Amino acid sequence: MRAHGIALIMGLLLLAALSLLAVMSANGMVLQRRMAANFEDRALALENADLAAAAARAWLDSRADVEREAGCQAGCLLPPSIHAVDELPPDPEFESADWWRSAAVPTGTHPESGEPFGTAPLPAGASYWLIEELHFAPFAEATLGLATAGIGYYRLYGRGSGKQAGSVAVTESIVARPWQGEYRPADFPTPASATAFCRQFDPQLPCGTLAWRQRK
């Protein structure tokens, strides 16, 4: 009788241990699923930020020389959707979604008309971009007022959101863009190859992405 009691107790202890192990395994699987979902959502936010940065670069490269005031070095009439230096807050990645909605350009819409384009528009609020002109270095002939020629240095911000409210990524690119004589502006909204655009200029001129980082 006593042996049967001990066997019963041992069986109950073993069953309890197996049940605890099963519960811990199930909790671990749930945690892993949540971690995988969070990682996927953060990756989606970064992808949308990269899409925004590509749209900003396409818009910048699609501008023509006539959109700059000839020989201007400071306080120039900048092309639409390109902000002057110090016009934007120093840390836009910490600005609210409402601020981005009011100050930035939604990816997939035209910066001037606001009209959407593309066959697969992004969800509302998923992707925005900003361009800030940091500095314009004119060439010698530009001082004569004969043409707008020089190198513009720009900061491009891309902001992307995931499906969850807290999944936000903000990237920053520093880009050099020549404004020089005869060249073919890139097409917009179809993003052209940045390398192909830069190939039109003197290879000694800085052109393209000089630096990149993820700010958030």
pLDDT mean by block of 10 residues, the chain; 216 residues: 64 66 64 68 91 92 76 63 86 93 91 76 83 84 57 93 88 91 78 79 90 94
pLDDT at position 143 is 47
Which pLDDT does position 114 carry in this prediction?
82
Sequence ranges of the domains in the chain: 33-214
Q: Report the pLDDT value the prediction gives residue 26, as an integer from 0 to 100.
A: 64
* Tokens describing residue 114: 């606001």
Contact 68, 79 (CB under 8 A): yes
Contact 172, 210 (CB under 8 A): no
> Is the separation of the CB atoms in 149 and 181 below 8 Å?
yes
In this prediction, residue 214 carries a pLDDT of 94
* pLDDT reported for residue 34: 66
Res 183: pLDDT: 82
pLDDT at 135: 86
At 188 the pLDDT is 81
Q: What is the pLDDT of residue 138?
A: 79
